Amino acid sequence: MNINKNYDLSKLNTFGIAAKAKFFVEVHNEAEFKELLDSTEFKNNQRLFLGGGSNVLFTKDFDGLVILNKLKGIEILKEDSESVVIKCLGGEIWHDLVVFAVERGLWGIENLSLIPGTVGAAPMQNIGAYGAELKNVIENVEAFDIATGEKKIFSKEECNFGYRDSVFKNKLKDKYFISAITLKLSKKEKKNLTYKVLTDHLESNNIEVKNSKHISDAVADIRRSKLPDPKVIGNAGSFFKNVFITAAELNKLQKKYPDAPFFKEEDEVVKIPAAWLIEKAGWKGKKVGNTGVHDKQALVLVNHGGAEGEEILALANRIISDVKEKFGLTLVPEVNLI
């Protein structure tokens, strides 16, 4: 185990922010993690667990220890005629797990194809896309308590999953290192075609869904056409979460903006797409210094090159204030601000 000092993180976050970590280490297995727990660098510093760095914004240098998750391994634990239970270690690339599943004809995570990042970070915000969420297939999450070094298995209920949310992002923030997840995937066909953009794509391309790979490929095609590739332009996907309001608040909004799109959720709650709020407020495609709002997807803030993390944060804060002023609604970042 090699602990580096003053480590450049620019290639380890998809925004491409040139922040530095006071200390940096890669962890390849549980034994290394246990060894790390005993090190003075771990004991005497704040720590940050990092996967693909695709959901973080470094607003300044990190004055502590960054721990890069490199725990690798995918294993089928059990299977019957209906389903397969798979355990995957946290340092695996999420999309590699999707490929593992669709290659075996399994159903359940194909709609989550091509989401950047690692398996260990996926429960953090209960990754979701194209009508699916991780919580629909997860059995449990394995994590180390960093205060005691003990391993704990969190049941799905204990993870307290919500929209881009979990117990690990809230009550247990910075308290656990997620080392593995276990999923239950279906052998039986389980098409999730609830998302209109996906069904429109399948229809217009005359794709008949015969297996989960067909959905995976379609989702990948849509994503490639809509979302900026972080290798080309720095970004962390959706910067903000969608906004959830009450029916009374929707009424108020519609008086001023009759064209406001909305989606009815459970319990009388209504979802307003944050992308619409940002676009309507005039931010889509805007450039501010080295930062900007993507011209095809208003939810995505970008680093046009050489941006500091605090410049992107300043842009995010301007958008939040403007949306608040124009619509009375509060945008909340989905990206973890470090």
Ligand X SMILES: Cc1cc2nc3c(=O)[nH]c(=O)nc-3n(C[C@H](O)[C@H](O)[C@H](O)COP(=O)(O)OP(=O)(O)OC[C@H]3O[C@@H](n4cnc5c(N)ncnc54)[C@H](O)[C@@H]3O)c2cc1C
Q: Which residues are part of the catalytic machinery?
A: 164, 238, 334
Nearer to ligand X, 14 or 83 (CB): 14
Indicate the residue among 3 and 324 with the shorter CB distance to ligand X: 3
Tokens of 323: 């949306």
Q: Whole-number minimum distance, CB 253 to ligand X, in Å? A: 25
Q: Which is nearer to ligand X, 125 or 212 (CB)?
A: 125
Query: Where would I find the H helices in the chain?
Result: 30-37, 40-43, 94-103, 156-159, 196-204, 212-226, 247-256, 274-280, 309-327
Q: Helix, strand, coil shares of the chain as percentages rounded to 5?
A: 30, 30, 40
Q: Which of 64, 62, 66 is nearest to 44 (CA)?
A: 64
CB of 129 to ligand X, least distance (A): 4
Rounded CA separation 19/62 (Å): 7
- Residue 126 CB, nearest approach to ligand X (Å): 7
Question: Which residue from 292, 288, 277, 276 is spatially nearest to 330, judged by alpha carbons?
Answer: 277
The answer to whether 165 and 125 have CB atoms below 8 angstroms apart is yes
CB of 223 to ligand X, least distance (A): 7
Please tell me the distance from the alpha carbon of residue 278 to that of residue 299, in angstroms, as a whole number: 7
CA atoms within 13 A on the CB side of 245: 22
Backbone angles phi, psi at 215, to 5 degrees: -70, -45
Interface with ligand X (CB under 6 A): 14, 48-56, 69, 90, 115-118, 120-122, 124-125, 127-129, 177-178, 227, 230, 235-237, 336
Query: CA 234, CA 52: separation in Å to the nearest integer?
Result: 13
| Beta-sheet strand order (sheet of 234-238) | 234-238, 300-303, 291-293, 287-288
- Does residue 169 contact residue 110 with C-beta atoms inside 8 Å? no
CB of 255 to ligand X, least distance (A): 32
* CA 50 and chain centroid, separation: 12
Nearest residue (CB) to ligand X, 70 versus 187: 70
- Choose among 130, 267, 292: nearest CA to 201: 130
Q: Work out whether the CA dihedral 221, 227, 229, 232 comes out positive or negative.
A: positive
What minimum distance in Å lies between the beta carbon of 190 and ligand X?
Answer: 20
Alpha-carbon distance of 52 to 80, in angstroms, equals 33
Nearer to ligand X, 90 or 108 (CB): 90
Closest CB to ligand X among residues 212, 303: 303
Residue 143 vs 250, nearer CB to ligand X: 143
Q: Are 76 and 104 in contact (CB under 8 A)?
A: no
Length of the chain: 338
Q: Least distance (Å) from ligand X to the CB of residue 16?
A: 11
